[in-house]
Amino acid sequence: MKRKIADPIIRNLARIASEMRSNFEDTTIIWAGSPFEWIRSLPPRKKGKVAEEFVTFWLTSSGFSTATVRDSDADLAVNSKRIEIKFSTLWETGVYKFQQLRDQNYDFVLCFGLSPFDAHCWLLPKKEVLYRWNMCEDIVPQHKGAAGKDTAWLSVNPEDPPRWMNKFGGRLSNSRKVLKKMLKD
């Protein structure tokens, strides 16, 4: 049973709230009907946990050996290589933003992007990440000022990724071959 608001001032406030709702709700049409839509509403830590579980399941089912890592510099060991996982859902602008890239103790950054009906994966060697961050400006500081030098982010349009990333992956269906080659024991 729907309750009615008796107070006319509160009724007016409710009307205004209804009109404002569309300005604040995240109702991106491209995500409508996606089996992944629910992930977008999770807080960042839970999104990260979901991403780690997705990636671990995908890698294990693709024949890779996975193990947890005992420190916070990497998320996963895959075929004995230390992997830092970065996750992004597709932004309304049509890009993934892989955030909080740092110079830590890992061998590769695995960028896992989830679109409404597709997924992408790039396995970037740490040397390439640092080079692109420090020399090429393909990976940019995430924050302004002196404090912004310790974290960076990478924006990727999955329909037109930067040319340098092509050898490191792409659509999830094609990425497995790249990972097998790069993560050989």
DSSP structure class, residue 83: E
pTM of the predicted model as reported, rounded to 2 decimal places: 0.82
| Residue 7 confidence (pLDDT) above 80 | no
Task: Give domain status of residue 157, yes or no.
Answer: yes
CATH number of the domain within which 159 lies:
3.40.1350.10
Task: Give domain status of residue 86, yes or no.
Answer: yes
Beta bridge partners of 87: 112
d(CA 69, CA 66): 10
Task: Give domain status of residue 177, yes or no.
Answer: yes
Task: Give domain status of residue 106, yes or no.
Answer: yes
> Which residue is it, tokens 């006319």?
8
Task: Give domain status of residue 15, yes or no.
Answer: yes
Structure tokens at 34: 């996606």
Please choose, from the candidates 88, 103, 85, the residue with its C-alpha nearest in 3D space to the C-alpha of residue 151. Answer: 103
**Does residue 27 sit in helix, strand or coil?**
coil
Q: Locate all alpha helices (DSSP H) within the chain, ordered by sequence.
A: 8-24, 44-61, 126-131, 172-182
Tens digit of each residue's pLDDT (9 = 90 or more) over 37-90: 999 989 999 999 999 999 999 999 999 999 999 999 999 999 999 999 999 999
d(CA 8, CA 13): 9
Please choose, from the candidates 140, 138, 85, the residue with its C-alpha nearest in 3D space to the C-alpha of residue 107. Answer: 85
**pLDDT value, residue 11:** 72
Task: Give domain status of residue 25, yes or no.
Answer: yes
Task: Tell me how many domains the chain contains.
Answer: 1
More confident residue, 31 or 185: 31
Task: Give domain status of residue 2, yes or no.
Answer: no
d(CA 136, CA 4): 60
Task: Give domain status of residue 3, yes or no.
Answer: no
Please choose, from the candidates 168, 166, 163, 162, the residue with its C-alpha nearest in 3D space to the C-alpha of residue 181. Answer: 168
Mean pLDDT of 116-144: 87
Please classify residue 37 by burial: count the beta carbons closer than 10 Å to its beta carbon, then call 0-12 exposed, 13-18 middle and 19+ buried.
middle
Beta bridge partners of 108: 83, 125
Give the residue numbers spanning the domain of 71. 8-182
Contact status, residue 111 vs residue 86, Cβ threshold 8 Å: yes
Tens digit of each residue's pLDDT (9 = 90 or more) over 140-173: 877 765 555 788 899 999 999 999 999 999 999 8
Share of the chain above pLDDT 70, in %: 90
Contact status, residue 152 vs residue 134, Cβ threshold 8 Å: no
Contact status, residue 119 vs residue 171, Cβ threshold 8 Å: yes
